[in-house]
Chains A and B, each alone.
Chain A
Amino acid sequence: MKVSYYPGCSLHATGKEYDQSMRAVSSALGIELREVEDWSCCGASSAHSTNFDLSIALSARNMIIAQKDDRDVMVPCAACFNRFKTAEHHLKTDEKLKTRIEGIVGAKYEGGNAIRNPIDIIYNEIGLDTLAAKVTKQLSGLRPVAYYGCLLLRPPEVCAFDNYENPHLLGNILDALGADVHNWSYKTCCCGGSLAISKTYIVVNMVDRLMRAAREAGANCVVTACPLCMNNLDMRPSQDLKMPVFYFTELMALAMELSGAEETFKSHIFDPRPLLRELKLI
């Protein structure tokens, strides 16, 4: 499968583990990535919190560039994915807005390229059987809880993704890697992402609640598909509540024993390698 790839700002910076593992996993699964040419920031929370048209226009610029290729646009960052899907929704349902945004961006929006998250592509296009057949190291002993957060799922009619109150795609992918996925009730709770810098004390309370719930569910790690959730869960919990947090693609790379799979663990703030060594996975 060939897709356009929009990494977004985080995947070139604090979320580089997600980018590196995403590229490795894509190559192993036969997903050819072509980076959206000269992309710019999607605008994230700061644009939509302060100016609606600006938020749509900043995402639209990238979606319009991606039109050059007849490919789906794969957006791994949950926040960028949400902004692109939101822009797509409004551009397709509000003709007046579309005209206004095209005036601001200076190009026509055609809307022919589907915006997709890699979880969707791996689950629906590649398939779990194909994935499981490529797993050479079962992740035995790893007891993750799958954490989806907000931006992959809500609002459901815009994201059109997984079951929005009880999603399962990410958990199913981890199952296919041989991990012992634990169920929990906090799959879709917010981590506080957009206030991480400006209202840190609120966010610490929020991530502590999540980490406590993961522990109570019997997990020994948390798995995410969002660089903002990753930053918050990896860095912000109180010291006694910390546990390893992984991008799902890092665990896929580990289970498929792809070269460089262990490299990305080094830059986690809470080092996951002691757990992985204990489980004889590295």
Chain B
Amino acid sequence: MNMKTFLDEVNERIDGVPLQRCYHCRRCTAGCPVAAYMEYNPNKVIRMIQNGKRAEVLNSSTIWLCLSCETCVTRCPNEVDIARMMDALRQMAIESGVAAHEKNILKFHDAFLANIKMLGRINEPLLMVQYKLKSGDLFSDMLLGADMLAKGKLSLLSPRTKDLKSVKDIFEKNQAQGDKFL
């Protein structure tokens, strides 16, 4: 029987200062550039994890909106790695099959990684096509894209990694070790 709490699980993945060190000074939230758009502020997420609110946290928009700018962890007086916590929560949401609250953000990541797997490197026009097909957001940035193309900013045929197998192997071996994403 698994006796691990949600807090234990998150702490294990962060593999650093335990979240219990947080004394809720809210410095993370004060410096967070996207706190205003989040369902729960960063420090509130820590409190919810302490209270075992697994479903609410993994279903929240907050974990997807985090930009990984690392301002929170840089300023935290207790060195709690909140950015790594957000990464861990996203990974846990994916692994437990919780539908991402911010679907398009996950679809972007999905398209990005598919692009690496296919070419070894990002081909930006192809990435945009892959993202648009996944998200259904077909028409945003069309004018900008045309402007970029006109200015030679988009390389339709960018060089790829020759030893593509070595890149694909990374995805496959990682998957064999428990990656449920791709």
Which residues of A pack against B, CB within 8 Å? 9-10, 12-14, 16, 38-41, 43-54, 57-58, 61, 94, 100, 103-106, 150, 154-156, 164, 188-190, 192-195, 197-200, 202, 206, 235, 266-269
A-B contact pairs, 19 of them (CB 8 A): A9-B123, A13-B124, A13-B153, A38-B161, A40-B161, A41-B116, A41-B122, A43-B113, A44-B122, A45-B109, A47-B116, A49-B87, A57-B170, A105-B170, A106-B173, A154-B73, A199-B102, A235-B144, A269-B144
Known contacts A9-B122, A104-B173, A198-B102; is-contact A189 B33 (Cβ 8 Å):
yes
Evaluate contact between B68 and A195: CB separation under 8 angstroms: no
B174 touches A54 (CB 8 A): yes
> Could you say which of B159, B173, B181 has the most chain A C-beta atoms within 10 Å of its C-beta?
B173
Q: Give B147's nearest chain A residue, CB to CB.
A: A269
Which one, A44, A52, A189, A193, contacts B88 given CB within 8 A?
A: A52
Contact pattern, B 59-70, Cβ under 8 Å of A = 1, otherwise 0: 000000101111
Give the dominant DSSP class at B's interface.
helix
Instruction: Decide if B151 is an interface residue (CB 8 Å cutoff).
Output: yes
Chain A residues positioned under 8 Å from B147 (CB to CB): 269
Q: Is the CB of B122 within 8 A of A48?
A: no
A53 touches B179 (CB 8 A): yes
Contact residues of B between 144 and 182, Cβ < 8 Å to A: 144, 147-148, 151-155, 158-159, 161-163, 166-167, 169-171, 173-174, 177, 179, 181
Minimum-distance CB pairs A-B, first 5:
A154-B70, A46-B112, A190-B69, A9-B122, A46-B109
Instruction: State how many angstroms separate the Cβ of B68 from the closest Cβ of chain A.
Output: 6
The distance in angstroms between the C-alpha atoms of A156 and B155, with both chains bound, is 34
Q: Are A9 and B33 in contact (CB under 8 A)?
A: no
Nearest B-chain residue to A15, judged by Cβ: B153
Total interface residues on B, using CB and 8 Å? 63
Taking the nearest CB of chain B, how far is it from the CB of A157, in angstroms?
Answer: 9
Cβ–Cβ contact A49 & B167, under 8 A? no
Which A residues are CB-close (under 8 A) to B121?
Answer: 9, 12, 39-41
Q: Is B94 an interface residue (CB 8 A)?
A: yes
Once the chains bind, are A61 and B113 in contact (CB under 8 Å)? no
Question: Do A156 and B74 form a contact, CB below 8 Å, given A192-B33, A267-B151?
Answer: yes
User: In the assembled complex, which residues on chain B have CB atoms less than 8 Å from the CB atom of A104?
Assistant: 169-170, 173-174, 177
Q: Give the chain B neighbours of A51 by CB distance below 8 A.
A: 91, 94, 174, 179, 181
Residues of chain A within 8 A of B123, CB atoms compared: 9, 13
Extra inter-chain contacts (9) besides given A51-B91, A154-B71, CB under 8 Å: A12-B159, A38-B162, A39-B121, A40-B116, A47-B116, A50-B94, A51-B174, A106-B173, A206-B33
| B105: A residues at CB distance < 8 A | 195, 198-199
User: B122 contacts A269, CB within 8 Å?
Assistant: no
Contact assessment for A52 and B91 in the assembled complex, using a CB-CB cutoff below 8 Å: yes
**How far does the alpha carbon of A48 sit from the alpha carbon of B105 in the complex, in Å?**
13
